[in-house]
Structure 1
Amino acid sequence: MYIAQAYKGLSDSWRYVVGLLAIFFVWQFIGGIPLIIALLVEADSLAVLGTGDMGAMADVLGSNTLLFFMLLTFVIGLIGLLAYVTLVHKQKITQLTTSRKKIDFKRVFFAFAIWALISTAFIFVDITLAPEDYEFNFNLERFVVLAIIAVLMIPLQTSMEEYYMRGYMMQGLGILAKNRWVPLLVTSLLFGIMHIFNPEVAELGYGILVFYIGTGFFLGILTLMDEGLELALGFHAANNLTAALLVTADWTAFQVDSIYRDVSEPVLGWDVLVPVFVIYPILLYIFSKKYKWTDWKDRLTGEVPSEETFLALENENADVQRTS
């Protein structure tokens, strides 16, 4: 009943329409003001922002400073989102996060740990098999600064994406469409499209969107099958954190002082398809066994109950619990 948690707050359609636009504005525009100010401080540097050249902006501000301001946009967006949900929808953050009585942080940490181990293993296997494609880039002083920024802020960055796409948007679309497949489809496609301006797309072509859209579907399935965002939050944080700390390249979104630098020619290869078509299904199987998921068809494509039906069921369950 994750989508139906929206009924525990004010769930009018207009609140979601206004909210999606207002939160996006705070995230993308208000959140970008500190970066603009930082570039303004540097004489004649604001023009670099319009080019979207991450390397040029890193040259102006320094890679760690640029990363901080990039991640700050997501932190400001997350604050705006949680404030809007609390003040306008009168919905508790727990209800935006999960259908459980409280947020299950064990799920967050489990998903984080399993994907951090797998993605780290993939990176080092690739380094071992093709050492000529990597350059050892470790600098203790710069890496420590990177690690502090990344550990503190990347989980907030990924949480913003999850709360916006698979939390707020999924609940809003779900109660509007009265089913689960529409929000799963729409949020997964939008998650991929939202990465279309990443430098990876410019280098590798639109084929890389298979990975982004596939990841969107994977995270959406996690959310609906597990009736909460916890697994998606942990997975997404692990994915971005390991990427930032371990490997950078001149054509990726995170151009930072990672341990290794990928110096190979960017090629759309197996590393894009294997996670989507091999690793993600295996992970879904592991999670399904651990958390005893059943009734896949209904949870992914079934109907969302009406507000009256859901609240009546909630009251009935509460009465049963009081008498037991």
Structure 2
Amino acid sequence: MHSPDAAAPPTAAELPSVRYDELHRLGPRALWRPLAGIVFLVALVFAAQLLITAIVSTGLYLGGLDLDQVADRLGGDPVTPTFLALVNLGWAAAIPAVWLVARALHGQTPGWVASVVRGIRWRWLLVCLGLSVAALAITVGVASLLPAQGTGTVDMDGSLNAWTSATRDFLLVILLLTPLQAAGEEYAFRGYLTQAFGGLAGRMGPRAGAAVAVVVPALLFAVAHGIGQDAPIFFDRFAFGLVAGVLVILTGGLEAGIAMHVLNNFLAYALALAYGDMTEAIHPADGTWWSIPVTLAQSVSFLVLTVLVARRMGIRTRTGQGILEPRRRPV
């Protein structure tokens, strides 16, 4: 990548043609950099989450709660609006952490983590949100035709939950912070980790490098959701990570994964608030194999729709291809 004191960044035509998972080739290419970056990123996110927890805990204590009440609010069993806000803020902190690691170790500006055009393509992100709605509608339809898929799914034939102050607080947290949480996870797993493992495996060849760049972050994404998951729930999260990783490469950026992640969480939380239980929605424990057709319906439909629309719109998938669509605004 160009040096910080260069007169001007290279134009698209001057850049080598590389995929999203190969973007670390544009900067310093020593093998230790992505390895150190992974460790550095984990440490930064963990430290940020500890700091946020300390700030929130202190605020609750100064607001009049005793230590036991603070622990109840933040313990996660049951899930409270404060706990959900804490989780969302903790993952949102991954975005600046990724930017810092990418800049320090790879010479990247924030836009290079977003896409091959050096920024979020906002029009494309809005299109992906619409495609996510379509895919989720298909998913809900498939789920309604199958037997119960275990804890964390919702029976919409039951009565609506009562509206309470907790419902209001959950709704505010979901609307304001869940998009940041989803984007933070995508920046970490489909952003930095995809580029890091793509750089590490690039010497194996382009196809093998792409496979490693998709599969390993997807596996880590599923594991990061907890070691107590049963097989169907793990498969669901692993499949989500695979589809999001494939779309990063096929569309050249994080927009599709962010859109799918945000809408998926919105739907899950909304159904839990309306008909189910937030604790079971966030900590599902006993999924069934009937969840697999539902997972495949969402994954395959969104993947197919997104790739078809991306090709029709001429969405760039590599650097150095010339400008096929204008950048609306920087990251």
Question: What TM-score bracket applies, with the shorter chain setting the length?
Answer: 0.7 to 0.9
Q: Among residues 96, 105, 109, which one is paired with 1:79 in the alignment?
A: 96
Residue 288 of structure 2: aligned partner: 268
Alpha-carbon distance in 2 for matches of 1:182, 1:121: 30
Distance 1:135 1:87, change over 3 A: farther
Q: Does 1:285 align with 2:304?
A: yes
Q: Among residues 26, 48, 59, which one is paired with 1:8 in the alignment?
A: 26
Distance 1:111 1:14, change over 3 A: same
Contact 1:103–1:230 (Cα < 8 Å) also in 2: yes
Q: Percent identity?
A: 19
Contact 1:10–1:91 (Cα < 8 Å) also in 2: no
Contact 2:139–2:295 (Cα < 8 Å) also in 1: no
2:106 match: secondary structure: coil
Contact 2:75–2:83 (Cα < 8 Å) also in 1: no
1:252 match: secondary structure: helix
Alpha-carbon distance in 2 for matches of 1:138, 1:120: 25
Question: Which range moves more in the overlay, 81-90 or 64-73?
Answer: 81-90
User: Unmatched 5+ residue regions in structure 1?
Assistant: 256-261, 294-298, 300-309, 319-324
Give, in angstroms, the shift of residue 135 of structure 1: 4.3
Residue 231 of structure 1: aligned partner: 256
* Number of residue pairs aligned between Structure 1 and Structure 2: 279
Q: Among residues 160, 163, 167, which one is paired with 2:191 in the alignment?
A: 167
Distance 1:48 1:139, change over 3 A: closer
Residue 178 of structure 2: aligned partner: 154
Alpha-carbon distance in 2 for matches of 1:90, 1:132: 50
Alpha-carbon distance in 1 for matches of 2:301, 2:167: 33
1:136 match: secondary structure: coil
Q: Does 1:212 align with 2:230?
A: no
- Residues 242-294 of structure 1: CA deviation (Å, up to 9, x unaligned): 22223242653538xxxxxx9xx955152x2123333322322222221228x
1:54 match: secondary structure: coil
Residue 55 of structure 1: aligned partner: 77
Contact 2:124–2:255 (Cα < 8 Å) also in 1: yes
Please provide the CA RMSD for this pair.
3.5
Paired amino acid for 1:208: I
- Residues 158-208 of structure 1: CA deviation (Å, up to 9, x unaligned): 11111111111111111221121111121121122222347xx2xxx2332
Q: Does 1:249 align with 2:269?
A: no
Give, in angstroms, the shift of residue 213 of structure 1: 0.9
Q: Which structure is higher in helix share?
A: 1
Give, in angstroms, the shift of residue 79 of structure 1: 2.0
Alpha-carbon distance in 2 for matches of 1:230, 1:36: 32
User: Unmatched 5+ residue regions in structure 2?
Assistant: 1-18, 149-154, 203-208, 324-331
Paired amino acid for 2:288: L
Give, in angstroms, the shift of residue 81 of structure 1: 1.9
- Residues 96-143 of structure 1: CA deviation (Å, up to 9, x unaligned): 111135421222222222323543675588689995864422426544
Distance 1:143 1:47, change over 3 A: closer
Residue 91 of structure 1: aligned partner: 108
- Residues 13-69 of structure 1: CA deviation (Å, up to 9, x unaligned): 3332222122212223431333245447332357669xx95224x4xxxx2222111
Paired amino acid for 2:68: D
Alpha-carbon distance in 1 for matches of 2:294, 2:189: 21
Give, in angstroms, the shift of residue 232 of structure 1: 0.8
Q: Among residues 139, 162, 169, which one is paired with 1:145 in the alignment?
A: 169
Q: TM-score, normalised by structure 2?
A: 0.71
Alpha-carbon distance in 1 for matches of 2:140, 2:57: 34
Give, in angstroms, the shift of residue 94 of structure 1: 1.6
Paired amino acid for 1:80: A
Q: Does 1:192 align with 2:211?
A: no
Alpha-carbon distance in 1 for matches of 2:156, 2:287: 15
